[in-house]
Amino acid sequence: MADRETENTRETGAGAYVWDLPTRLFHWSFLAAVATSLFTAEFGPMDIHLISGHVVLALLVFRIAWGFAGGRHARFASFIKGPAKVMGYARKTMSDGVSAHLGHNPMGGWSVVAMLAALVTQVASGLYANDDILTEGPLAGTVSKSTSDLLTEVHEISGNVVYALIALHLAAVFYYTFKGQGIIGTMITGRSLDIDAAGAEGGAEGSLSRAIMIAAVAAGIAYAVMNY
Ligand code: HEM
Ligand code: HEM
């Protein structure tokens, strides 16, 4: 990205549109629901843990569907890259430093996949978990006690993986911010101040009515599972 282009963008505010509204709403709701799940797992109350856990479930269903049906940069196909691209990006970043990237960069793309996969594991195991006292996931009764105990352990172990991925995510986000990339602002406003709109391709907005339909189905699935 040329410096002059970056300056122009910052002056005019005509940054490239990157994150569609549903992706941004997903991100900040996901943060709130995951943080609530982690907090209540440690300090209670567990009935809130079950509710926030099912909100995480609804958000995951939404985001996975949106990865196929969303705006250009929200689609998995746009940010899941092969090893050659990932290594190339890592090498370039090490030699030239960080640079602006339209959408998730090839390394960031895989960290999104890791984060979503860890939370799918977390929710799926939680549905079968039990705490030996009062709380159990809605599907715990469909398996034997020993299977439920095993999945409770999976739930606790993958909880640590979630903590580690969040730490890595925050470190990466703050590192890029420290290096002058306005990526946090982009996740709030949708627009990048580091890449000019002229350099962007269309189709980043996604269809709002499609997002509402997917969100309704996702909420319905989570509600049905919770009341199983
Ligand atoms: C529980 C905490 C968090 C979780 C689970 C989380 C999860 C995620 C996920 C799944 C994405 C991918 C977005 C998508 O394509 O759907 C993402 C991206 C992003 N997150 Fe978070 N996030 C958390 C906290 C935060 C915080 C506190 C900030 C900033 C203050 C932040 C800033 C960002 C930014 C800037 C991106 C876009 C990265 C890029 O440009 O490629 N996140 N996060
Ligand atoms: C539908 C979703 C979920 C259900 C039904 C669920 C259910 C449960 C249950 C029954 C326990 C008690 C197990 C025990 O005492 O060891 C538990 C613990 C725990 N949950 Fe969840 N959970 C869900 C989602 C989540 C999510 C999204 C997270 C994190 C982001 C999470 C993190 C934890 C952690 C870390 C513990 C262990 C607490 C401890 O140290 O004992 N859970 N969960």
Q: Is any atom of ligand 1 closer than 6 Å to the C-beta of 23?
A: yes
CA pair distance 148, 135, nearest whole angstrom:
12
Nearest-CA residue for ligand 1 atom 18 is 27
Confirm whether 102 is domain-assigned: yes
Confirm whether 131 is domain-assigned: no
Q: At what angle do helices 21-43 and 208-226 cross, to 10 degrees?
A: 20
- For the stretch 183-223, pLDDT in tens is 999 999 999 988 888 767 788 999 999 999 999 999 999 99
Strands 15-17 and 191-196: antiparallel
Confirm whether 174 is domain-assigned: yes
CA pair distance 84, 156, nearest whole angstrom:
35
Confirm whether 10 is domain-assigned: yes
Backbone angles phi, psi at 98, to 5 degrees: -75, 150
The tokens of 215 are what? 């969100």
- For the stretch 160-189, pLDDT in tens is 999 999 999 999 999 999 999 999 999 999
Q: Which of 42, 49, 50 to mutate to test the pocket of ligand 2 (most atoms within 8 A of CB)?
A: 49
CA of 54 to the centre of ligand 1 (A): 19
Q: For residue 162, which amino acid is it?
A: V
Taking the CA of 56 as reference, the closest ligand is: 2
Beta-bridge mates of residue 17: 191
Confirm whether 152 is domain-assigned: no
Confirm whether 121 is domain-assigned: no
**Which residue segment(s) compose the domain that 54 sits in?**
3-113+159-226
- Residue 120 pLDDT more than 50? yes
Could you tell me the pTM of the whole model?
0.93
CA pair distance 206, 162, nearest whole angstrom:
29
For residue 135, the ligand 2 atom closest to its alpha carbon is: 10
Confirm whether 220 is domain-assigned: yes
- For the stretch 124-173, pLDDT in tens is 999 999 999 889 999 999 999 999 999 999 999 999 999 999 999 999 99
What domain count does the chain have?
1
Q: Are 185 and 18 in contact (CB under 8 A)?
A: no
Looking at residue 192, the DSSP 8-state letter turns out to be: E
pLDDT for position 5: 41
Confirm whether 164 is domain-assigned: yes
